[in-house]
Amino acid sequence: MTEDILFALDRVPQSFREVLLLVDVQEFSYKEAAETLGIPIGTVMSRVSRGRDLLRNQLVKNNSSVVVQSTTVEATREAQRDSASPALLQS
């Protein structure tokens, strides 16, 4: 399973991959990722969303069993972020 994710992640463009690694793997906040990369927070948010789509598409393309699990995790995280106040997301 881990090999499937790494294989798919290697095929995601670097600008999206680096944001995914910071936010989803290292659990940086959007603000922390933006500061680390020197880009606007809106760009981080956009790249996370697009990067997840690209990663998911790569996993589907490779017929990976990880897709169902990652989609569930992502949906849970998005629900948690949607219910959080904007001030909390910026910290």
pLDDT number for residue 10: 92
Better-predicted residue by pLDDT, 88 or 29 = 29
Q: What is the mean pLDDT of residues 15-44?
A: 96
Exposure class string for 30-67: b at 16+ Cβ within 10 A, else e: bebbbeebeeebeebbebbebbbebbbebbeeeebebb
pLDDT number for residue 91: 45
**CATH classification at residue 13:** 1.10.10.10
Tally the domains of the chain: 1
For residue 58, the enclosing domain spans: 2-89
* Position 16 pLDDT exceeds 50: yes
The per-residue pLDDT for range 39-91, each reduced to its tens digit, is 999 999 999 999 999 999 998 888 766 655 555 556 556 655 655 545 555 54
